Amino acid sequence: MIILDCDDLFDTWRQQARWLLSHQINPDQVSWSVREDADLFSSDAHYPENLGPFQARVPLELLTLLQNAAQYCGEQRWSLLYEVLWRVSHGDRTAMLAGDKLGSELHRRLKQVSREAHHLHAFLRFIALPVDPAPKDLTVKAALLDMQTLPEYVAWHEPAHDILRTASEHFVGRLGRHRWMIATPKDAVFYDGQQLIHKRQCPDAWASLARNADDPHGELWLTYYSHIFNPARLNPKVMQGHLPTRFWKNLPEGPLIPALISEARTGKQRDGQARQIAERRGKVIRG
């Protein structure tokens, strides 16, 4: 058994896979693991460092599929990719297709990954940092954070897969020259107005800046959210399908949801109007 550690980096894995393939090493003879576990198994086979004789040819689109599926965090993260690569390079292209047993797992992962990227685009919330009047303080603050300048907007997000680095490029197009930072329990990105900087390990100071940002004007969004809801159409099941509960805790509107549901259940399902509006004085227009 060969145990490899690719440090969860696709390029490293790719080099390793290329080497394995060139020596015609079967998928069941190799596994990927983090280094601490690696001692548990010892490899008794010795292989030369240089590439072996087998020259694999695979379609370019497979590489894209593997690269995307590599963002998936879960069991057999890297070995599944090698198994797919092995089969396709030995002439069995069905391994790439969703109709195949292995291929269907590959496609399930691809779907999870793209869904998670979409979740980042959808459910991440930026908070504007207060504009500090003294530029000297700013420089000091920025230096403490290991940044050249301070971000204008910060966000805390908890993705289930390693999608932050690629998926966060979306916000470059969205926010123009504004500076922003996204912190997660794992990694972080900072856009300084010109380039996107990725940190594989989110600095503690960044995490705390993102998690503790004050939001004095958050009330407007909460008001909008409560009032665009139509209690006469209450359907929490569909909602949870689209907006999984694991995201609620980081969404400002998350804490409102249970109360909106229970209020709609206990009577407000008569019509679509929110209670606060029904209680206000109305105005008939006479022409």
Partner 1 sequence: MQLIDKLSILADAAKYDASCASSAAPKRSSEGKSGIGSSNGMGICHSYTPDGRCVSLLKVLLTNFCLYDCQYCVNRRSSDVPRARFSPEEVVTLTLDFYRRNCVSGLFLSSGIIRSADYTMEQLVRVAKLLREEHEFRGYIHLKTIPEADPALIEEAGRYADRLSVNIELPTQIGLQTLAPEKEMGSIKQAMQTIYTGQQTVLNEPRAARFTPAGQSTQMIVGADATDDSTLLHTAESLYGDFRLKRVYYSAFSPIPNSPKSVPLAAPPLLREHRLYQADFLLRSYGYKANELLSGPGDLALDIDPKLAWALEHRDAFPLDLNRAEPAMIARIPGIGIRTTQRLVELRRQRRIRYEDLTRLRCVLAKAKPFIITSDYHPRQAESTSVLLREQLRDRPQPQQMALWA
Task: Name the minimum Å distance from CB 123 to partner 1.
Answer: 7
Q: Which stretch binds partner 1 (CB under 8 A): 46-54, 65-73, 77-85, 96-104?
A: 96-104
> Which residues face 30 on adjacent strands?
2
For residue 10 the two structure tokens come to: 């696709």
Is 35 a binder of partner 1 (CB under 8 A)? no
Among 53, 133, 216, 282, binds partner 1 (CB under 8 A): 282
Among 1, 122, 140, 143, binds partner 1 (CB under 8 A): 122
Write the binding mask 229 to 258 for partner 1: x where contact by CB under 8 A, - elsewhere: xxxxxxxxxxx-xxx-------x-x---x-
Nearer to partner 1, 130 or 173 (CB): 173
126-155 binders of partner 1 (CB under 8 A): 126-128, 153, 155
Q: Which stretch binds partner 1 (CB under 8 A): 12-20, 90-98, 130-138, 143-151?
A: 90-98
Is 123 a binder of partner 1 (CB under 8 A)? yes
Nearer to partner 1, 187 or 253 (CB): 253
CA-based nearest residue to 252, from 217, 211, 216, 218: 218
- Are 86 and 21 a contacting pair, CB within 8 Å? yes
Task: Name the minimum Å distance from CB 233 to partner 1.
Answer: 4
> Which residues face 199 on adjacent strands?
188
194-213 binders of partner 1 (CB under 8 A): 194
Among 14, 23, 165, 178, binds partner 1 (CB under 8 A): 178
Write the binding mask 37 to 76 for partner 1: x where contact by CB under 8 A, - elsewhere: ----------------------------------------
Among 56, 73, 175, 213, binds partner 1 (CB under 8 A): 175
Could you give the C-alpha distances from 251 to 8, 124, 145, in angstroms and in order? 29, 8, 25
Task: Tell the residue number behind the tokens 């009032």, with chain if given.
Answer: 227
Nearer to partner 1, 160 or 256 (CB): 256
152-171 binders of partner 1 (CB under 8 A): 153, 155, 170-171
What SS3 state is found at 100?
Answer: coil
- Are 74 and 52 a contacting pair, CB within 8 Å? no
Task: Name the minimum Å distance from CB 111 to partner 1.
Answer: 10
For residue 249 the two structure tokens come to: 């805790």
CA-based nearest residue to 189, from 216, 222, 155, 160: 155
Among 76, 149, 221, 250, binds partner 1 (CB under 8 A): 221
Stated as kind and residue range, the H or E segment containing 138 is: helix 135-144
259-278 binders of partner 1 (CB under 8 A): 260-261, 264, 269-274, 276-278
Q: What is the DSSP string of 59-96?
A: -HHHHHHHHHHTT--STTTTHHHHHHHHHHHTT-GGGG
Among 176, 201, 204, 249, binds partner 1 (CB under 8 A): 176
- Are 130 and 138 a contacting pair, CB within 8 Å? no
Cβ contacts of 170 within 8 Å, gap of 6 or more: 120, 121
Phi-psi region of 282 (alpha: psi -120 to 50; beta: other; left: phi over 0): beta
